Structure 1
Amino acid sequence: MQTHEIRERFINHFVKAGHTEVPSASLILDDPNLLFVNAGMVPFKPYFLGEQNPPFPNGTATSIQKCVRTLDIEEVGITTRHNTFFQMAGNFSFGQYFKEGAISNAWSLLTNSVADGGFGLDPERLWVTVYLDDDEAAAIWHEKIGIPEERIQRLGMADNYWSMGIPGPCGPCSEIYYDRGEAYGEFGGPVVDDTRYIELWNLVFMQNERGEGTGKDSFEIVGPLPKKNIDTGMGVERVACILQGVENVYETDLLAPVITVAEQLTGATYGRSETLAKAGDTTSAAYHAAHTEDIRFRVIADHCRTGLMLILDGVTPGNEGRGYILRRLLRRIIRSARLLGATGVTMEKLMDTVRATMTPSYPEIADNWERIRAVAVGEETAFLKTLESGTRLFEDAAAKVKASAGTILDGDAAFTLHDTHGFPIDLTVEMAAESGLTVDTEAFDARMAEQKARAKADNRAKKHAHADVSVYRPFVDNHATVFLGYGATETEGRILGLVAGGALVDRAGEGSKVQVILDQTPFYAESGGQLADRGTISGPGGVAAVEDVQKTGKKVWLHNVTVTGGELAVGDTVTATVDHTWRHQARQAHSGTHLIHAALRQVLGPTAVQAGSMNRPGYLRFDFSYGEQLTADQLRRIELIANEAVDTDYTVNTIETSLDEAKAMGAMALFGENYGTQVRVVEIGGPFSMELCGGIHVSHSSQIGPVTVLGESSVGSGVRRIEAYTGVDSFRFLADQHRVSSALSSRFRVPVEEVPERVESISARLHEMEKRITQFRTAELSAKVGDYVMRAATVGDLRVVAARVPDGISGGDLRTLANEAKGRVGSEPAVAFFISADPESGKVPFIAAATDAAVALGVSAGEIVKAVAPYVGGRGGGKPAMAQGSGSDAAGIDAAVAAVRGIVEQSVAG
């Protein structure tokens, strides 16, 4: 049974049982505790936490959620169990059925015949575990389902009690295992051998609330939940292993094709270690080499799928957060392929194979393939350059080891190559072996362990209990705010609630900062990159300035206000008025963002995809995924296309429709957003721009006014940002630019259009003059070198030139002086030291140089620089023949010069 069919059977089973099918949420959710969605229940947390009522007719739901877990990336491939991406099939009950319903639903799907829509598993091969004191679940399994008591095992809190790791819902769970047979291990159920008995399904009976604590079993149960809920998770990949009769997930229909392509690209063969193991060989060098190769194949297969799914949901490679995880996964693919024997590019063919296996379940992959391909191939190209530069760094480090007659590359050097330069440790080990060296991997591992410990500690520190939003719960459940702002900027409303300091209050007097909850409002709450409206709320007894508007539970508008006069009270009928100028200019900016997005895609193509935006009155910024800096001509074309759309005066239409219909229309969606079944499409000029958007927009594109692109910049690896003005702000900017250009035109006595050419001409002349000044200065300094050499002190056979040169001499000029001095003394043993002060920057550059004859006597310019640096509050270093540094305390210059002779004497004496 193919994985796609397994998914369909699961959903169909629970839909027939009355559950609402819920599409998988994006892997990226707005949750401070999670980089990625890592469990099937994550999108349903607001319902389990009691923040919102579930919107499902029968109070039940089912989904197949895509998940990513990345805490143990290094373990992937070592065993066949670890996967970074997996699909979690689940069914959920919010205060409806409980243990018996969850157990019977799971059992019927697993054991019903294939003809009846089930998976057709042999009931005799299924075992279950329950929590230690969960007699109720054990009785259901035995008495209702008919599982013999000997196949029902009890485990403690660490194994059979679930929580989110922070205060919140929790409860005992029951897990279903499949016995793969005696060939896989010892008889006796999962408590004896969890390799033979593979877990398929976890049924969580969410009935309690946990308090503070750490770990899986060191927290307090503070009491029962108001409603008992069900959260289950069935591992799609694990069921696929059983139903496809394969050993592990890497042999299923989703990943096996990727390994096959990897074999073709590398010339290596997967599975050789298993062949050797079956022959009884698990200790030879050949076995270990084959096992290492198999690990690399599994890394490629696993990470390709995870990487594709992350890129699909809008992640781009970067140096922190989600981007860092993606970059790490992609680079592990590349290096694994290289170590297996690949010599050219591999990413496109590997990713194309994943596309073929995953598209039946995720059709949106096909729609986004060109962007996915571009991101993956772009990262491979960049990393191959990193490997090239890293190879040079490795060769330098290896040469130093050999020069000192050593045989071990120290762990710090290997860690620096890995952590700072992105050079993989296994490549370092392999190249070291080729050079006749070994790597101190213990020291490297220690540094890696320290880094991981810091990362995990940082991750734990970022986790926190969910904010207490219980004060808003009655409003979320019973009084959703009616938003009237699409058609009005002033409406009447009734104050349903006032919140101050996290508590409900009846009234708020002048000077109070409170949150006002109205039954209906014209105020736009911040979302979709658009800032909230500003304005006033006035009633019979008082008036308040609206400074911000936020949503809670996606249903209730919280107006953050300061009462500026009188008093507001619950029950008052008030007038809510949006600042007209604010709203007008905010609409211009938001609609202008859509024009910029459309123009961007015309100029750069479909791979340029929105990665975020922010709109405030008169200003917009638009982030998009793209791997290169935009040229001036590209920016000009984007600006021109946007303004042509303004001039064309397109009608702006909004369409309320289903999500499926919106996608069929070609409407673009923002990655990472989770849309409901009904969405709002904003259409500007028909095919020119069509996006899912809940924001406030103009009615005709001409109302946006002129759009002025200010420029573009990088905001992270693979993400660029365009900033622009709209409307009157754009006019003001252009007017200021006109004044500047007119002033320059008048000053240079040339037409405005010739100003850039004239500025360029003057700049070139200045640059030429600066070059000539530098040449004169260098010549002047060279002429003085003879005087410095003539005044040199002697230390034995050594000549010591130490001098303070005129202020303002750069480090580069000091190097010229040092080389000139060395040339003047020829083959004699000599040392030259020059130091200067830069009054403008406050820096004190200095340099030391030693002739070959001086170095032979034991003198080191690097040691001289290190010894002198403290006199001027600086630091420095370098090689024995030449070294330089910089300080910040010019008062110590004379003392530094005086110290040089003594430092040289010690070097020679030593």
Structure 2
Amino acid sequence: MNYMKTSEIRESYLSFFESKGHLRMKSFSLVPKNDKSLLLINAGMAPLKPYFTGVEEPPRRRVTTCQKCIRTGDIENVGKTSRHGTFFEMLGNFSFGDYFKNEVIPWAWEYITEVLKLPKDKLFVTIYLDDDEAYDIWTSKTDIKPSQIFRLGKEDNFWEHGSGPCGPCTEIHYNKAGVKVNNVDEFVIASDNDEIIEFWNLVFTQFDGDGEGNYERLANPNIDTGMGLERMATIMQNVDNIFEIDIVRNILDGICKIVGKEYGKNDKDDVSLRIITDHVKSVSMMLCDGIQPSNEGRGYVLRRLLRRAARHGRVLGMKDEFLYKVVDLVVESYKEGYPELVEKADYIRKMITIEEKKFNETIDTGMDILKDYMDKAVSEGKTILDGKDAFKLYDTYGFPLELTEEIVEEKGLKVDMEQFNKAMQEQRERARGAREKTSYMGADEVPMNKVDASLSTVFDGYDKTELTSIVTVMATDEDFTKTLTAGQSGYVFTEVTPFYAEMGGQVGDTGMIITDNCKAKVTNCKKNVGGKITHFVTVTEGTLNEGESVKLIVDEKRRKDICKNHTATHMVQEALREVLGEHVHQSGSYVDENGMRFDFTHFSALTEEEIKRVEEIVNSNIMDVYNVETKVMNIEEAKKTGAMALFDDKYSDDVRVVCVGDYSKELCGGTHVKNSGEIGLFKIISESGVAAGVRRIEALTGFGAMNFVNSKEKELKSISSSLRCADGDIVKKIEQQLNELKMKDKEILELKNKIASGSENDILNNIKEVEGIKVLAARVDDVDGNALRDLCDKLRNKIGSGVVVLGGAAHGKVSFVSMATKDILSKGIHCGKIIKDVAAITGGGGGGRPDMAQAGGKDIAKLDEAVSKVDEIVKKLIK
């Protein structure tokens, strides 16, 4: 057994199975496609499920991949153990009804003993206890000793996930510690102690299970294998930890230089270093696949990982943003396997910087909130911090539990972990309940998703909006059907169709399906879970029959309007890159007959000038009447031409490149105008932020844009009529009226201040003495915040020594101000604490310094009550 780099192991595996007739496929995106059962791709077979279930035809019956995966189920163990990580690579070879046990077992043995050259005496195999077939193959087609094969139960050697395809498996293990194993019990003990490690699982998917212990044998059994690349690298490089393999150690060592720490010197530091290494790697891969930080779904997973990494940076003494520096280390380690990291590195760095900055601001806020929680617990004589409060800090502010525990311990407190865990469990159950209850593929169990994989529909609608075809399959929500009659709705599949199925942000076509005896309205067109073009229909007249010839007619006017908006999105992206920079990439779009929405990567709001410039560029290219041409070419050839591609899309070898003259080139399967002049007019109607580092433009084209401009002109005329001036004088007239209003506001304010000053003597009659300290509390109406502060300052000066609290009501709002003379602060008086408790009575909040504070309130009806409680609140503070 010779040392092998991680990249060499990856390549040797894929090459080996290519030599066995497998198609090497690139890693799929971490974002599952048409699979609602998964948040993120977490296994090599996950993106291949449509091929296993038969809803989609595989590109070849034998496939091999190295798949990017994310798992967060054991996130709390990352960094603490030798084998837990959130990002990993899974090597796999798969058979979709082709070869089975007789082939895969000898191939596995050949690869590990002849290619990797693992010593045979250090290898063990486990099989399902009833799988005599696997035992016979291992003992007859390989030279492993029978004493190195152990039978285990269902929990260990039977792969099953609810209902759906399942079956026994055989696992291959390596005796890393060289321990002596004479029987299955000793094997299990050594495995539990990580002395023997499992590195390859061969799953024999031969049954269809109902989830209740009943199994039917599949007519065409499948093979699904998974070998953890990192785990195999620990074996080939003779290291004990996945963080010490070459590809990961390079990142870890770089982080040590950034944070000024030496790995292996301090256990606590090492945990933090490993967590940062793993999490930034995961975040970089997720951002590269188009996942954006958010407070839900996969975006929340990304944000949580990034914040844990940032938190451990603080543990290591890093106060400022630094995680973006780690991105270059990740790119350098993984660019060979995932070259897309190189082109997206700048974007990844910027997104991580924004998120880390947000976290640093958030964690400071969390510290203030935690301090309030602790003060409250101490004042109430408690030694336990409420677990719900700790969970709120964790969940809402990203404040790590371990940090909360460390800080409260310094105050002699402990976190109520029972309450914390209960709140955590409730959140998990809410998340689980929010996830749709679905089948193995996560798709709705309806007939339209069970159409035979061999069925296909040819889309012939790029240049046509009408053609004749044959109905091949029909279904309702309940079952497949041979007929659909007037009033019935269902799903229709045909041999050929001019209807575009919703995809790439473009909505599906609508129109009609007609025969001599039937009319059916096509209300939508989408692809089912197996990628089959599905017409959503409602029969309005007669009967539609399976097998009959039909005329399919697309709503041509609607299609043309959709085309205008779609071509405009291509031109917008190019214009944005010209105005804002090359970092701009599409991160989502929506195109229908009414307008377009375009989401793109950028890190600040566009200025009016930038929006105007984008509009001018697009309209200029519309007026140049460029021909819009579509060229089909190889994906690599397309990239060389500079054609833009979507962030997270996986493309086939041959792609469509849509060219708007020489101005825009983009990979796209949608429908477009014949020349840019058909768009007519382009108008941006809004620009906004939708997520960190993602902006959105909404725009109109053609008559939609013209109608928008006409409506604005109508509004302008209405405004000029109301102001009684010409259209061109509107701004001047408004400025004049604003100046007049400012002058009147100034006069009103001066008058209010005079009234307030005149009432000083009346207010001074409310002075009381509490424990030897003068306390003046009063309500003052129709006085705004500034006047209230001025009045409070004057009253404080007049009383000489003491505290003043004023509550005011103006314009439906409640305001509080409190000021104290310096000499009484040592006696416990704190205006910030006084004002906080007073404002809380009216449903408000605020705070400030010991000698001055202010707050707002909500309930005016409780203003008198709040003022009346001042004496009582002050009394509690006096030492």
**Structure 1 residues 402-411 or 463-472, which shifts more?**
402-411
Partner Cα separation in structure 1 for residue 204 and residue 188 of structure 2: 20
Report the equivalent of 2:110.
108
Partner Cα separation in structure 1 for residue 771 and residue 630 of structure 2: 90
TM alignment of 1:156-195, pairs within 5 A: 156-164=153-161, 166-182=162-178, 188-194=186-192, 195=194
Residue 17 of structure 2 corresponds to residue 3 of structure 1: no
SS of residue in 1 equivalent to 2:603: coil
User: What's the offset of the Cα at 1:529?
Assistant: 0.7
One-letter identity of the residue aligned with 1:332: R
SS of residue in 2 equivalent to 1:192: helix
TM alignment of 1:375-394, pairs within 5 A: 375-386=351-362
2:92 to 90, 93, 110: 90
Partner Cα separation in structure 1 for residue 738 and residue 405 of structure 2: 51
Residue 268 of structure 2 corresponds to residue 313 of structure 1: no
Partner Cα separation in structure 2 for residue 701 and residue 426 of structure 1: 59
User: What's the offset of the Cα at 1:406?
Assistant: 11
Report the equivalent of 2:583.
607
CA contact (8 A) 2:354 2:692 kept: no
TM-score, normalising length from structure 1? 0.85
Report the equivalent of 1:549.
525
2:680 to 702, 705, 730: 705
TM alignment of 1:43-62, pairs within 5 A: 43-56=47-60, 59-62=61-64
Call closer, same or farther: CA 1:111–1:343 in 2, change over 3 Å. Answer: same
CA deviations 1:540-572 (Å, max 9, x no partner) are 122122211111145432222222233323333
Partner Cα separation in structure 2 for residue 37 and residue 158 of structure 1: 23
User: What's the offset of the Cα at 1:782?
Assistant: 3.6
Partner Cα separation in structure 2 for residue 452 and residue 411 of structure 1: 10
User: What's the offset of the Cα at 1:836?
Assistant: 4.2
TM alignment of 1:135-154, pairs within 5 A: 135-154=132-151
Partner Cα separation in structure 1 for residue 48 and residue 783 of structure 2: 66
Partner Cα separation in structure 2 for residue 378 and residue 832 of structure 1: 42
User: What's the offset of the Cα at 1:689?
Assistant: 1.9
CA contact (8 A) 1:683 1:690 kept: yes
Residue 6 of structure 2 corresponds to residue 37 of structure 1: no
**Structure 1 residues 475-484 or 101-110, which shifts more?**
475-484
1:221 to 214, 224, 230: 214
Call closer, same or farther: CA 1:22–1:791 in 2, change over 3 Å. Answer: closer
Partner Cα separation in structure 1 for residue 838 and residue 364 of structure 2: 36
Call closer, same or farther: CA 1:470–1:229 in 2, change over 3 Å. Answer: farther
User: What's the offset of the Cα at 1:10?
Assistant: 1.0
Report the equivalent of 2:196.
197
SS of residue in 2 equivalent to 1:454: helix
User: What's the offset of the Cα at 1:356?
Assistant: 1.1
User: What's the offset of the Cα at 1:784?
Assistant: 2.9
Partner Cα separation in structure 2 for residue 741 and residue 475 of structure 1: 56
CA contact (8 A) 1:511 1:563 kept: yes
Residue 502 of structure 2 corresponds to residue 521 of structure 1: no
Report the equivalent of 1:827.
801
1:269 to 247, 258, 262: 262
CA deviations 1:706-757 (Å, max 9, x no partner) are 1111121111222211111111111111122233334545666777566446
Report the equivalent of 2:426.
454
CA contact (8 A) 1:15 1:62 kept: yes
One-letter identity of the residue aligned with 1:773: I
Partner Cα separation in structure 1 for residue 538 and residue 313 of structure 2: 61
Report the equivalent of 1:562.
538
Call closer, same or farther: CA 1:205–1:478 in 2, change over 3 Å. Answer: closer
- CA RMSD in angstroms comes to 3.9
TM-score, normalising length from structure 2? 0.88
One-letter identity of the residue aligned with 1:589: N
CA deviations 1:222-276 (Å, max 9, x no partner) are 433342111000111111121122222211121111121122222211123xxxx
TM alignment of 1:214-253, pairs within 5 A: 219-253=212-246
Report the equivalent of 2:481.
505
Partner Cα separation in structure 2 for residue 36 and residue 732 of structure 1: 43
CA deviations 1:186-215 (Å, max 9, x no partner) are 994355334111111001111223334xxx
Report the equivalent of 1:283.
none
Partner Cα separation in structure 2 for residue 860 and residue 565 of structure 1: 78
Report the equivalent of 1:726.
701
Partner Cα separation in structure 1 for residue 180 and residue 396 of structure 2: 43
Call closer, same or farther: CA 1:253–1:542 in 2, change over 3 Å. Answer: same
CA contact (8 A) 1:482 1:520 kept: yes
1:303 to 260, 275, 279: 279
Call closer, same or farther: CA 1:62–1:100 in 2, change over 3 Å. Answer: same
One-letter identity of the residue aligned with 1:845: V
Call closer, same or farther: CA 1:334–1:474 in 2, change over 3 Å. Answer: closer
SS of residue in 1 equivalent to 2:599: strand
1:28 to 28, 31, 40: 31
Report the equivalent of 1:285.
none
TM alignment of 1:472-483, pairs within 5 A: 472=448, 475-483=451-459
One-letter identity of the residue aligned with 1:642: V
Partner Cα separation in structure 2 for residue 306 and residue 612 of structure 1: 22
User: What's the offset of the Cα at 1:97?
Assistant: 1.6
SS of residue in 2 equivalent to 1:220: coil
SS of residue in 2 equivalent to 1:368: helix
User: What's the offset of the Cα at 1:182?
Assistant: 3.4
One-letter identity of the residue aligned with 1:192: A
Call closer, same or farther: CA 1:573–1:308 in 2, change over 3 Å. Answer: same
TM alignment of 1:613-762, pairs within 5 A: 613-686=589-662, 688-744=663-719, 755-756=730-731, 758-760=733-735, 762=737
User: What's the offset of the Cα at 1:396?
Assistant: 7.6
Call closer, same or farther: CA 1:37–1:771 in 2, change over 3 Å. Answer: farther
Partner Cα separation in structure 1 for residue 337 and residue 139 of structure 2: 36
Q: What is the aligned-residue identity percentage?
A: 36
How many residues end up aligned between the 2 structures? Answer: 864
CA contact (8 A) 1:511 1:564 kept: yes
CA contact (8 A) 1:69 1:84 kept: yes
CA contact (8 A) 2:484 2:543 kept: yes
**Structure 1 residues 816-825 or 585-594, which shifts more?**
816-825
One-letter identity of the residue aligned with 2:421: A
CA deviations 1:432-488 (Å, max 9, x no partner) are 89xxx3574543x55653453234323433153324557347754343112121111
Partner Cα separation in structure 2 for residue 191 and residue 631 of structure 1: 65
One-letter identity of the residue aligned with 1:49: T
Call closer, same or farther: CA 1:441–1:415 in 2, change over 3 Å. Answer: farther
One-letter identity of the residue aligned with 2:28: A
Call closer, same or farther: CA 1:865–1:580 in 2, change over 3 Å. Answer: same
One-letter identity of the residue aligned with 2:191: D
**Structure 1 residues 470-479 or 224-233, which shifts more?**
470-479
Give structure 2 stretches of 5+ with no counterpart.
Answer: none
TM alignment of 1:431-446, pairs within 5 A: 437-438=410-411, 440=413, 442-443=415-416, 445-446=417-418
Report the equivalent of 2:438.
465
Report the equivalent of 1:275.
none
Partner Cα separation in structure 1 for residue 362 and residue 553 of structure 2: 57
CA contact (8 A) 2:89 2:229 kept: yes
User: What's the offset of the Cα at 1:899?
Assistant: 7.0
TM alignment of 1:583-602, pairs within 5 A: 583-602=559-578
User: What's the offset of the Cα at 1:422?
Assistant: 3.7
Call closer, same or farther: CA 1:101–1:833 in 2, change over 3 Å. Answer: same
